[in-house]
Chains A and B, each alone.
Chain A
Amino acid sequence: MILKADQIAKRLVPSEEDIDPLVIVPKPNIELLKQAGEASVDLRLGTWFLTLRQARLTHLSVANKDASYEDDIKFARTHYIPFGKEFILHPRSFVLGVTLEWVRMAGDLAGYVIGKSSWGRRGLIIATATGVHPGFTGCLTLELSNIGEIPIAIKPGIKICQLFIHDVKSETKTLSASCFVGRRKPTLGRIVIDELAQKLSEELD
């Protein structure tokens, strides 16, 4: 069941005994959230961005068993845009951003990040229903793309996306330990080539 804003607000004010709370920092305005009729909570744009170093890249190879997170980092450039400054997202360009909020998803909750329609109508596409798994904790990496015709100026602190949260049936309460966890900057992450994919990627004589 998807949590309505007042339910999210309730979960954001946990009792002191709650050892596995839902946390969003900086905390949204709880009173406004309680009154909101939506079924999501708005998240803001953070200060860190990641772009690919196109001049160094011939292509991104994902079907390479040696591809690692570190390799990806070699081809990415980090940008810091302080509060008050703008990042100009040009038409057909793609950048990774990050939410200003650090989100800790409780073990019995999961979520989806969806763009805000007000941005979408102006050509700014934010993520493609990024999943936020139970036990995740960190800032959420956002995939930002300008599919419009006009450059868009985005500023840290603006409301950029919305987080839908729903409950999950689960017995476990461990935090996730993926490479996306516990980060304040956008993360490319690792494309895991499992055994089956590896075997299928090999050419036969």
Chain B
Amino acid sequence: MLPLQHARKRVRSFLAEINRLRESEFPYEQSKGALALIQEVAERHLESLDALTDENDIDTVINECGMTVTFLYDNLPFLGFILRSTNIRNGFEVYFPLLRLARAILGEDTKLIISSEWDYSPFIYGGIPELPGFVLIGLPAPESANPLLMPLAGHELGHSVWIKHKCKDIFATEIREKILSEIKARWTEYTILFPGDLTDADLETDLFALQTWAPAFDWAINQAEEEFCDYIGIAIFGEAYLHAFAYLLAPGMSDERPFHYPNMRRRVADMKEAATTMGVATPQSYEQCFIDMVEPDDATEREKKFLLSLADTASQSIRSQLIEKARTLILNSGFIPRSNEIIKNIVGRFELVVPAEDTRGLSNILNAGWVALNDDSFWRKTNLSEMKDTTLKELILKTIEVYEIEERTRVSR
């Protein structure tokens, strides 16, 4: 039977690829461990396929073949991710300190893979069925060894925090109620855009009515999650998060705005509010660095625009709660907040062009890095000023490695 033969060959090719990848130089065991887990599942699929014969019912064969296609389709990107996690363009020194941070926030069984990806926007894979407990963070390849952008990993970790603490469930009711109250307040507009014999009592019960505002609900939930992740980034990394965010994203793109984010200027204004609440100083003229992306067209996309405005209003209405939730979750995780005194000491060491010791955490190191980078007078009196960016990154990565050595030897010292 041809589909069965093809399915077996496909899984064997996939397993052969895993075997090739296993020969990579793995900078840390968890990449290799993830590969082994995917291999186990692939082998189980192959066993199931090998157990089938011509005597089996055709539906059973088709079903089994279909499941393996889905498995291969879903997991091939992870093989690529794991391979790229071994590329020496990554700043490997960051790995263990970031793993410690992830474990402090998400739990001791957290496993982490960081990779340099061919996607300019940092992203996260989490909740992968084949990789339980794994968090995969992708950073843009040209910046993957730039430690100054590591605070953006805080945003990506935020997605795992959101899931772990069931934040969607916590905020869904409020978002839903806000959307419904907004529709009721704008009833005439709603009935023009979604004509039908509806009353506001139908909004929560009638299938057609539910479908009309469902996209707004999904977008609002997604917006709330993204904003929450920004607040987690700020809670962990403080000013360094704001700087890294601006470095990668300012002023913003000229495309149509993605609906699962608030538009840029509101997002930045909300981050500023979160920063103020958490005692983080926002860089001067920060908001002016950003522009809004293009909103849906008034004339041709009226329904979309209406729904998006519902989503924006609903996610905005829980902004303060999201900030507070992010702040308390990080505070209660035992995460040691950054210290201005330590940051100052680190900057002092960087001025001498030497890595710092006794830094007590990634956040202090990365904030010191941004202070030095943003100081135009830094190293001006030395002949290193032309090599400032390169040398500073080297110093930061070495300081992170020294921090890791201190952590590993802390008990015995």
Instruction: Output the least CB separation between A26 and chain B (Å).
Output: 6
Given contacts A139-B398, A177-B384, A181-B384, contact A82 B352 (CB under 8 A): no
**Is A183 among interface residues, defined by CB-CB distance under 8 A?**
yes
B353 within 8 A of A: yes
Contact A80 B384 (CB under 8 A): no
Check B382 against A102 for contact (C-beta < 8 Å). no
A145 within 8 A of B: no
Q: Are A80's CB and B27's CB within 8 A?
A: yes
* Size bin of chain A's contact surface: 20 to 34
- Render A99-115 as a binary contact track against B, CB cut-off 8 A, 1 for contact: 01010100000000000
The 8 Å CB contact of A25, one of B25, B27, B354, is B354
B312 adjacent to chain A (CB < 8 Å): no
Find out whether the CB atom of A182 lies under 8 angstroms from the CB atom of B357: no
Pair A21/B391 contact, Cβ less than 8 Å: no
Q: Which residues between 147 and 205 of chain A lie within 8 Å of chain B, taking CB atoms?
A: 174-175, 177, 181-184
Q: Is the CB of B391 within 8 A of A182?
A: yes
Knowing A182-B384, A182-B387 are in contact, say whether A104-B353 is a contact too (CB < 8 A). Answer: yes
- Report, as a range, how many residues of chain B touch the other chain: 20 to 34
B397 partner residues in chain A, CB cutoff 8 A: 184
**Chain A nearest CB: distance from B405 CB in Å?**
6
List of A residues within 8 angstroms of B357 by Cβ? 25-27
Decide: A82 and B402 in contact? CB cutoff 8 A: no
With known contacts A26-B357, A182-B390, A177–B383 Cβ distance under 8 A: yes
Given A78-B88, A80-B27, A82-B28, check contact A25 B355 (CB 8 Å): yes
Q: Is the CB of A104 within 8 A of B354?
A: yes
Most buried by B among A21, A100, A177, A184: A184
Q: Is B395's CB within 8 Å of the partner chain A?
A: yes
B383 touches A174 (CB 8 A): yes
**Considering the complex, which residues of chain B in the window 83-125 have a beta carbon less than 8 Å from any beta carbon of chain A?**
88, 92-93
Tell me if A23 is interfacial: C-beta within 8 Å of chain B.
yes
Q: Determine the chain A residues whose CB is within 8 A of the CB of B405 once the complex forms.
A: 26, 83, 100
Residue from B27, B353, B408 with most neighbouring chain A CB atoms (10 Å): B353
Does B354 lie within 8 Å of A175, measured CB to CB?
no
Instruction: Kindly supply a per-residue 1/0 record for chain A positions 113-140, scoring 1 wherever the CB is within 8 Å of any chain B CB and 0 otherwise.
Output: 0000000000000000000000001110
Kindly report which residue of chain B lies nearest to residue A79, judged by CB atoms: B25
Contact with A along B342-358 (1 / 0, CB 8 A): 00000000001111110
Cα of A102 to Cα of B355 in the assembled complex, Å: 7
| B394: interface (CB < 8 Å) | yes
* A81 CB to nearest chain B CB (Å): 8
A79 touches B387 (CB 8 A): no
Task: Enumerate chain B residues within 8 angstroms of A104, measured Cβ to Cβ.
Answer: 352-354
* Inter-chain residue pair count (beta carbon < 8 A): 68
In the bound complex, CA of A184 to CA of B332 (Å): 36
Complex Cα distance, B351 from A23, in Å, reads: 13
Chain B residues near A184 (CB-CB < 8 A): 394, 397-398, 401
Q: Is A141 located at the chain interface by the 8 A CB criterion?
A: no
A181 to B383, CA, bound (A): 11
Contact of A82 among B27, B386, B387, B390 (CB under 8 A): B27
CB closest chain-A residue, reference B396: A184
CA distance A47 to B400 in the complex (A): 13
Contacts of A78 in B (CB 8 A): 88
Of all chain A residues, the one with the shortest Cβ separation from B381 is A174
Q: How far is the CB of B393 from chain A (nearest CB, A)?
A: 9
Taking CB atoms and an 8 Å cut-off, the chain B residues in 107-166 that contact chain A are none
Which of B354, B402, B404, B408 is in CB contact (< 8 Å) with A137?
Answer: B354
- A201 to B391 alpha-carbon distance, docked (Å): 35
Instruction: Say yes or no: A23 contacts B383, CB within 8 Å.
Output: no
Q: Considering the chains assembled together, what is the distance between the CA atoms of A78 and B86 in angstroms?
A: 12
Contacts of A139 in B (CB 8 A): 398
Determine how close the nearest CB of chain B comes to the CB of A4; give it in whole angstroms: 23
Most buried by B among A26, A79, A80, A174: A80
**B-side contacts of A183, CB under 8 Å:** 394
A134 CB, nearest partner CB in chain B, Å: 13
The CA of A84 and the CA of B308, in the complex, are separated in Å by: 52
Known: A80-B25, A82-B27, A182-B394. A23 touches B354 (CB 8 A): yes
Question: Given the complex of chains A and B, what is the CA–CA distance between A22 and B28 in angstroms?
Answer: 33
A45: shortest Cβ distance to chain B, in Å? 13
A25 to B394, CA, bound (A): 13
Given contacts A79-B88, A82-B92, 6 further A-B contacts (CB under 8 A): A23-B352, A82-B27, A137-B352, A174-B382, A177-B383, A182-B387
8 residue pairs of the A-B complex, CB under 8 angstroms, read: A21-B352, A25-B354, A25-B357, A82-B28, A102-B354, A104-B353, A177-B383, A183-B394
